[in-house]
Amino acid sequence: LFAQGAEFLKGVVAMDGLPPADRIETCFAGRSNVGKSSLINALTGRKGLARASNTPGRTQEINYFTLTDDHYLVDLPGYGFANAPVAVVEKWQKLLKSYLSGRPTLRRAFVLVDHRHGVKPVDDQIMTLLDRSAVPFQVVMTKADKVKAAEREKILDQVRAALQTHPAAFPELVVTSSEKGDGIATLRAIINSLV
Ligand code: GTP
Ligand code: MG
């Protein structure tokens, strides 16, 4: 799928702005600054495709990318702290929740977790929303390059324990670094396998 080259389709600010549900889609959710946009760029091999930045709250719309005629990739606004006015943040958090619980063609949600921090209470809340909405989700660890090898397993155990309480979670974790390229091929293969 990735050989064909992904393209930006549109940024969506309200549920009625979503494109027609005419193909499956995969979305990337996670706390502000966890690396959602960077991961989409790494997966598609296009550095500037999704806008990434060091300012939490960079992505403020639901951004659609056409992967193929059969598949959209969806970059979501982050949750948790964001460097933006409260009213604005509340608006996009509401949109995020509506999207995650109400998109029939959403095949899998990737919930990104910073490998330095593990699963936080806000991540747990999003996972509960996905459970209730019956959206299968898989955890992708990000920024693995920032964690010493010796520390990695400890955090992974914490994440695995947190997933035990979530029936919609896939047990397999994908460990990635958008910076170094770790895990990117694995994640592409997972997305390729979705139909
Ligand atoms: P919001 O849109 O604000 O929610 O953020 P986001 O989750 O889209 O994060 P984004 O991709 O914008 O990345 C945030 C910061 O983390 C940027 O400065 C990235 O360069 C950095 N970053 C992302 N992935 C990695 C990674 O794998 N390794 C390292 N070292 N830095 C990363
Ligand atoms: Mg972003």
CATH fold of 2-193 reads Rossmann fold (3.40.50)
> Measured in angstroms, how far is the CA atom of residue 80 from the centroid of ligand 2?
13
pLDDT digits (tens, 9 = 90+) for 60-100: 899 999 999 999 999 999 988 777 788 888 888 999 999 99
The domain locations on the chain are 2-193
State how beta strands 7-12 and 71-75 pair. unpaired
pLDDT tens track for 104-154: 999 999 999 999 999 999 999 999 999 999 999 999 999 999 999 999 999
pTM over 0.95: yes
Give the ligand 1 atom nearest the CA of 54: 18
List, as one string, the DSSP characters of 145-191. Answer: GGS-HHHHHHHHHHHHHHHTT-TTB-S--EE--TTT-TTHHHHHHHH
What residue type is assigned to position 158 of the chain?
Answer: Q
Residues 167 and 130: their CA atoms lie apart, in Å, by 9
pLDDT at 33: 94
Q: Residue 116 C-alpha to ligand 2 middle, in angstroms? A: 18
Q: Which atom of ligand 1 is nearest to the CA of 177?
A: 27
